Amino acid sequence: MAKKNIEWDKLGFGYMKTDKRFVSNFKDGKWDDGVMTGEDMITMSECAGVLQYSQSVFEGMKAYETVDGRTVIFRPDLNADRMYDSALRLEMPPFPKDKFVEAVCSVVKENIDWVPPYGSGATLYIRPYMFGSNPVIGVKPADEYQFRIFATPVGPYFKGGAKPIVIKVSDFDRAAPNGTGHIKAGLNYAMSLHAIVKAHEEGFSENMYLDAATRTKVEETGGANFIFITKDNKLVTPKSKSILPSITRRSIMTVAKDYLGMEVEEREVYFDEVKDFAECGLCGTAAVISPVGKINDHGKEIAFPSGMDEMGPTTKKLYDTLTGIQMGRIEAPEGWLKVIE
């Protein structure tokens, strides 16, 4: 076993072709056993369902090397559950959950030399995805699907420490009340691209989306859930049927309760109360937590007391505890780390 010769700390968040990926096909009503392959190119019909009507779902998770040299994956069973739910919502045949976890582990094992070393700040990002692969021209679900998992090393999300970001309240909607906001589907991202490009042009890092029906409640950003810390140190996180159930956010809720002894509230959060919170953060696999310093609401600024220089103190504790668990420095709750043997 020899790690690849990569400048791990200089890696960005980009794709790099690694040695092996998993591929399984669904045909004649069933999934085949799947294979591990070196082939990274896909050949399919010009009329494939995914190319016409965007029938595709995906997942994202990370593998890490821990302080004691083990390679672990963070809670892949929850990604298996979520992809199962995503597939059902788009009328796709869900990939069996136990086989999902098994295949994720095999992909990490087969690319073990690509798992960045402990302390580099880099991680191995794992991307499972599934799409309709046979020709579909009349609007209906495909009959054949491909499920794939590749892995690619990604650099530390924050180079030189996590700096608070400035975000804006978006005038676009991310998800309809009874739509697809709660599943991890490519279509939710395609329609958010215009809004994020506009926000970036205006100098903001992310969009805060409000609920589409009333535009009074906080939902999420394009790819991360919100957490807020109250002035009396409670963790508050929005509850809504149209936000994606982030595994990072759910893990942070457990960390807050069981490791830091905090009170945790998952409830509707009105935009009007946001100005009263002490800290704000965005959570997702990529960054774990990005601290938010300011929210711009049509020119009116909400500046959190935690400021623009560093993470708020409670956000920092949550971040340090969760990353400590992921890297094996702090004991993990039962079942959180899947060890690659």
Ligand X SMILES: *Cc1c(COP(=O)(O)O)cnc(C)c1O
Q: Which two tokens stand for residue 173?
A: 């909607």
- Site membership for ligand X, residue 223 (CB under 6 A): yes
Site stretch for ligand X (CB under 6 A), options 135-143, 221-229, 233-241, 323-331: 221-229
- Site membership for ligand X, residue 225 (CB under 6 A): yes
- Site membership for ligand X, residue 284 (CB under 6 A): yes
Least distance (Å) from ligand X to the CB of residue 168?
A: 17
- Site membership for ligand X, residue 128 (CB under 6 A): no
Give catalytic status of residue 159 as yes or no. no
Measure the CA–CA gap between 23 and 44, rounded to whole angstroms: 14
End-to-end CA distance of the chain: 14
- Site membership for ligand X, residue 246 (CB under 6 A): yes
Q: Which of residues 21, 148, 184, 338 is near ligand X by CB under 6 A?
A: 184
Q: What is the dihedral of CA 51, 154, 80, 329, to 10 degrees?
A: -170
Least distance (Å) from ligand X to the CB of residue 246?
A: 3
| Residue carrying structure tokens 């796709």 | 92
Q: Which of residues 11, 90, 244, 256 is near ligand X by CB under 6 A?
A: 244
Measure the CA–CA gap between 220 and 75, rounded to whole angstroms: 22
Nearer residue to ligand X within complex by CB, 240 or 248: 248
- Site membership for ligand X, residue 182 (CB under 6 A): no
Site stretch for ligand X (CB under 6 A), options 107-115, 131-139, 219-227, 253-261: 219-227
Site stretch for ligand X (CB under 6 A), options 4-12, 43-51, 63-71, 278-286: 278-286
Burial of 190 (0-12, 13-18, 19+ CB in 10 A): exposed
Q: Which of residues 248-277 bind ligand X (CB under 6 A)?
A: 248-249
Site stretch for ligand X (CB under 6 A), options 121-129, 196-204, 244-252, 304-312: 244-252
Q: Which of residues 60, 141, 186, 324 is near ligand X by CB under 6 A?
A: 60
Buried/exposed 43-68: b ≥16 CB within 10 Å, e otherwise: ebeeebbbbbbebbbbbbbbbbbbee
Site stretch for ligand X (CB under 6 A), options 112-120, 121-129, 144-152, 282-290: 282-290
Least distance (Å) from ligand X to the CB of residue 126?
A: 11
Which listed residue (184, 217, 317, 338) is catalytic? 184
Nearer residue to ligand X within complex by CB, 136 or 287: 287
Least distance (Å) from ligand X to the CB of residue 184?
A: 5
Q: Please count the residues of this chain forming the interface with ligand X, following the rule CB under 6 A.
A: 14
Give the active site residues. 184
Binding site for ligand X (CB under 6 A): 60, 184, 220, 223-225, 244, 246-249, 283-285
